[in-house]
Structure 1
Amino acid sequence: MASNTETGRPGIALLPLAVALAIMIALSFYPPLVVGRNGHADHPGLMLLCWAMSAGFTRGVGLVPKNRIARLLLSGWATLLALALGIMRLAQVF
């Protein structure tokens, strides 16, 4: 759904929502995805993926916070940034 310009309300954003769903499914079915060589969970990598998932769900369902900082941290761009940083972090750990 596109943005409704008459009311100023945003619509569903499919890319962030798809990213959030993919992260949710991947971590639910394969938790070792965030386990490093030493056998322990990589908390920074997991934090970045959880940020990407949270931002993706927030923006994906059409919520745009009024607070500037929250709007920035939970935007579609933040979803992609956190996903890229999370993948880079996990690539270093493996």
Structure 2
Amino acid sequence: MSAPAPTSLHWPSLTAGLVLMLAGTAYPLVFARPDGHADHGLALLLFWAMSAGFVRGVGFIPRHRAWRGLFSGWACLAAIALAALSVGLRAG
């Protein structure tokens, strides 16, 4: 069995994860609809982006293809884009 390849911090993903964590902690209504009720779809997308940002950001790359895809830097970006699209469609 070969040793895993060394990885390093992935700053864009880690920054995205940290920003989402701090924004959600400081202003939890970011996960809510305008009427104040929870927007579970938006929360799912933002928590997925935050999780993917942390996993990839600290340099961990899962071995299994499905997990590697779900917790990649591209998945973080896709989840943020889908969350922005969700908010945009709701507002418009």
TM-score by length of 1: 0.87
Gaps of 5+ in 2: none
Q: Of the candidates 32, 35, 38, which is equivalent to residue 32 of structure 2?
A: 35
Q: CA RMSD in A?
A: 1.3
The residue matched to 2:74 in structure 1 has which SS? helix
Distance 2:83 2:6 in 1: 30
Return the match for 1:16 from 8, 13, 16: 13
1:38 CA displacement: 2.6
Q: Which runs of 5+ in 1 are unaligned?
A: 1-6
Instruction: Report the identity percentage.
Output: 41
Q: Which residue of 2 aligns with 1:4?
A: none
Residue 10 of structure 1 and its aligned partner are, at CA, apart by 1.6
How many residues align? The count is: 88
The within-5 A match list for 1:9-88 is: 9-88=6-85
Task: Give the Cα separation in 1 of the matches to 2:71 and 2:63.
Answer: 11
Question: Which whole-Å deviations, capped at 9, do the CAs of 1:25-59 have from their partners, x for residues lacking one?
Answer: 00000011121123211100010000000000000
Runs of 4 or more off by more than 4 Å in structure 1?
Answer: none
